[in-house]
Structures are given as C-alpha cells and as structure tokens.
Amino acid sequence: MTIGIGTPAVGVTLEDISVSFETTEVLKGVDLTVEAGEFFTFLGPSGSGKSTLLRLIAGFGPLPLSGRVLIGNDDVTRLPPWKRNVGMVFQSYALWPHMTVRKNVAFGLVERKVAAGEIRRRVDTALNLVGLLDFAERRPSQLSGGQQQRVALARTIVIEPRVLLLDEPLSNLDANLRIQMRREILELQRKLMLTTIFVTHDQEEANTTSDRIAVLNDGVIQQVGSPIELYDRPVNRFVADFLGSANLIDGVIENAGGRTLFRASGDITIPLHGRITGAAGGLTAMFRPQSLSIRGAGDPAVEGAVPLSGRVEHREFLGSLVRYTVTVGGHALLVDDSHQAGHRTYDTGEEVALYLDTEQVRLLTS
C-alpha cells in the first residue's frame, strides 16, 4: 500500500505566470520552483493572489495569459484538474454531512472507480495516518473541528496526489488547535515525503512549518527564502515589515574620511561596516527591535554600540519581553527588552538611552 510513500516526490515549476480577471492583473510574471518533497508556503496579505496561484496549480480558475505550470516534467498548463493528480484542501473543507467519515474519505476513489477492496485498504491507511480509524463510522457533525479538518486531509491524501495543496486549511480552528494541527500536517508531510504548498496570511504559521516561503504582494513575488533568511535578510520594506516588526528609517549614505555613515533626520548617524558602493540617493536602514538595547539615561553605555537618546512613548508587557516605543529625533523606534522577574522596566515619559548593534543594520533600496 502506498499513499505517497513509494511514489517519488515531484516538484512544481511556475514559469512567467500572469493572470487577469477581466481588466485587473492579479498575478504578474510569477516565476517559482518548488522542490520535490518540499513544504513550501505562499505568504501574503489578503488579495495578494495566493489562492489564485494555488488554484492555478490545481487547474481551477482562469487560464494564465502567459506562462506555464509544470508538475515534475509535465506541462499541465492546459490540463483539467482531474488529470493533474494533485490534492487540494480548500479553506472551507465542506465534508458531506450525511456520509460517514469512511464514505467521505472514500468519495474520490469511488468516483475514480477503484475496486471496493482497494478502496477499503486505502481509506483505512489514510484514516490511520490522521489518527481517525476509530472514527470511521461517525458523521462529520459528531467530530470536533480539528477532527473534521483531518478527515478533509485524509480525503485528499487517499487519492495519492503527486502534490498536496492547502489553502488556509487551519483558519476555522481555535488558536490551540491550529498549533496542534499545523504540527500534525507537517509530520504527515514528512512521513509521506509529499510536495506540499500551503497558503496562509499568518507569518507564524508560515515560519513554523515551511522549508521555504514565497512572500507575495499585489500579485508579485517579493522574495523567496527560508523563514530565517526572510527575517534576517529581507530585500525590501514590504518583506521586512510583513515578517515581524521592523524599524525602518529613511536616510542617505555618506562616505567621509574612509568611514561610511548613514544619516537620517533628527540627528541620527549610524556608522556602517564596510564601504557601500553604488548606493547614491536615498536608502532605508532596517533593524529589528531586539537589535536595540535600552538603558536609563544616566546608566553606563553599552560598549561597541551606537548610542541614541530618546523618550519612552509607550510600553507593552508581553511576558517574555517588554516592547517599548521610544521617540528618537522624531522617529518612533520599537525596542524589545527581554524580561525576567526583577528586571528593570522604564516608564512612559522617561528619558532613556538606546544602543544600536550596527552589525544588525540592513540597508534597503525599496
């Protein structure tokens, strides 16, 4: 018996894909390769084109104006969904309410006219994989949300898809169940070595599951990389801001006396490591809230870091850390201070000194 196991994983390639609904272009020249066996995520805000891109791989929705979709080496651009052998779990995973769990999972195999004995075997294997073999004779209304979600997953993997497509499959679940289910999906994906493309607008969900993520905005892929690469080395303001909190300050580069400085309004000067070439014009300095340390105005300085003085505007206690908003020369900077019992905190209105670890500063051009 194989469900995925034994079937070699295949990759998915998108070449120069553009899609329009009437006059609106919703995907613009998307190029992307998802490796065989990879857990890959489309991450982006609402309306950025994630579902449209996923549906295009499954074969639903409009034909692209340009470009090709390859599954493995096969060009499937013009194939109907049922000839592509991909499994898709939709956001509203609509189980048949009048059918038992077993019948729901068997549905795709019955439609494909698979022999009865084979159906039984494959459904048992799929239900076992999602831990629901004992629930086979129940109806969906007798299951929890997470269990229903797993039935939807079993129903999709039972057809032994070459690629698994998941469109916000956890959005109907409560916070704890989401965390549990995302672990289970990842475990199942690893066990089956199934190429999986997952759609979400939740960065934590993307970060915790994905081998790689494509960040989409307005129908354009902004950047592709591992969660840590995207967080540490975003290529533009959008990615920097979408994956976690970022301080973004506009300024200019000055090369003076063998030193390179970043100058911004409000008397902010940040010495940079190495000479920056070809960076004429305006740039944005990006650094994360944890790259700043906060101290009392009269406290000893943090060695090797750039001092900035400011005033606490706002304080949020988040348990493991305290997040401050500190105004420095007209810029509102976010500062994360890790928290332990007895650790000093700073009050709103208090004058403080911030210290910036300049090695953590990244310059962005857009």
User: What secondary structure letter does DSSP report for 120?
Assistant: H
230 lies in the site for ligand ATP, by CB under 6 A: no
CB of 219 to ligand ATP, least distance (A): 7
| Contact with ligand ATP (CB under 6 A) among 3, 12, 17, 26 | 26
| Contact with ligand ATP (CB under 6 A) among 52, 189, 209, 223 | 52
| Contact with ligand ATP (CB under 6 A) among 4, 11, 37, 49 | 49
Interface residue list for Mg ion (CB under 5 A): 51
What angle, 0 to 180 degrees and rounded to 10, lies between the N-to-C axes of helices 175-192 and 145-157? 20
CB of 200 to ligand ATP, least distance (A): 8
Nearer to ligand ATP (CB atom), residue 230 or residue 294: 230
Instruction: With H, G, I as helix, E, B as strand and everything else as coil, classify residue 266.
Output: coil
The answer to whether 307 touches 354, Cβ cutoff 8 Å, is: yes
What b/e string do you get for 100-123 counting C-beta neighbours within 10 Å, with b at 16 or more?
A: bbbbbbbbbbeeeebeeeebeebb
The answer to whether 122 touches 190, Cβ cutoff 8 Å, is: no
| Contact with ligand ATP (CB under 6 A) among 1, 6, 16, 21 | 21
d(CA 109, CA 190): 24
Strands 163-167, 195-200: pairing kind: parallel
Q: Which does 46 bind (CB under 5 to 8 A by kind): ligand ATP, Mg ion, none?
A: ligand ATP
172 lies in the site for ligand ATP, by CB under 6 A: no
What angle, 0 to 180 degrees and rounded to 10, lies between the N-to-C axes of helices 101-111 and 145-157? 20
Beta bridge partners of 333: 326
| Contact with ligand ATP (CB under 6 A) among 10, 37, 51, 123 | 51
| Contact with ligand ATP (CB under 6 A) among 122, 201, 212, 288 | 201
State both tokens at 116: 């009865």
Instruction: With H, G, I as helix, E, B as strand and everything else as coil, classify residue 55.
Output: helix
C-alpha 229: how far from chain center:
12
Q: Which stretch binds ligand ATP (CB under 6 A): 3-11, 44-52, 75-83, 324-332?
A: 44-52
Q: Which does 340 bind (CB under 5 to 8 A by kind): Mg ion, ligand ATP, none?
A: none
Nearer to Mg ion (CB atom), residue 56 or residue 109: 56
Binding site for ligand ATP (CB under 6 A): 21, 26, 44, 46-52, 201
